[in-house]
Structure 1
């Protein structure tokens, strides 16, 4: 199985578990960390809309909880005709753990639709390197 196929399979599996009773728009995300481990997350909505969680945030939290510290690649899977790219907040979340050249793949149920670099989705970004070495 190719690295992209593995990310797609993980995102597809977790998308089915999304908690999206309000929008009915299920999203799955899977990322590969610096060790090659795959971490997945799905969107989790809440009746108080602002406190929901995006799939990308869930995948990043799973990575950090497992000890991962760098995103090597991430795939976001959503239904519909339009590309389901990370929202602005998730682009910044990804930037915290990824370099500008990191690949962000966007998929639909049929497979990969398009690939971007983080720099393409979040140009001239502010990231950890702007603040100096981490303590």
Structure 2
């Protein structure tokens, strides 16, 4: 991934994080991903008083990508203000797996910049994906 892509992902995640709806945790998260055509799609977390029905920022970014007509994640950046790098939750790792590859970069950032780099394989080893179901079709 080139640095302009990283800059664009960071800017989009930082901007969308400002729109997060996090009145219960106070933990605003922004996520931005780059699709197969180089377009950026972003999402923020949206909490709900009924906690299990909230939406993660990564899920919002994936939904925006699908709504925009894309189907492949080239890279995703998650931005949150925390002492340690914030990575996607387990459910979001599986969402990224649906549209990404084992070597898809997952970048953890804070408001000051990039904090850590991972691959999807490192965060979700030996994962289950769409190709496992292809045999049954």
Interval containing the TM-score (normalised by the shorter chain): over 0.9
SS class of match (1:62): helix
- SS in structure 2 at match of 1:106: strand
Which ranges in structure 2 are unaligned for 5 or more consecutive residues? none
Q: Can you list the C-alpha shifts for 1:33-68, whole angstroms capped at 9, x where unaligned?
A: 001100000000000000000000000000000001
Aligned equivalents of 2:51, 2:115: Cα separation in 1: 28
Note the alpha carbon deviations across 1:77-134, whole angstroms, 9 max, x for none.
0002111100000000000000011000000011000110000000000001111179
TM-score by length of 2: 0.95
- DSSP-derived class of the 2:55 partner: coil
Pairing partner for 2:51 from 33, 49, 54: 49
Q: Secondary structure at the match of 1:85?
A: coil
Among 91, 94, 106, the alignment partner of 2:93 is 91
Q: For residues 44 and 80 of structure 1, do their structure 2 counterparts lie closer, same or farther at Cα, with a shift above 3 Å needed?
A: same
**Backbone CA RMSD of aligned residues:** 1.3
Q: 22-31 vs 79-88, which deviates more?
A: 79-88
Give the number of aligned pairs.
135
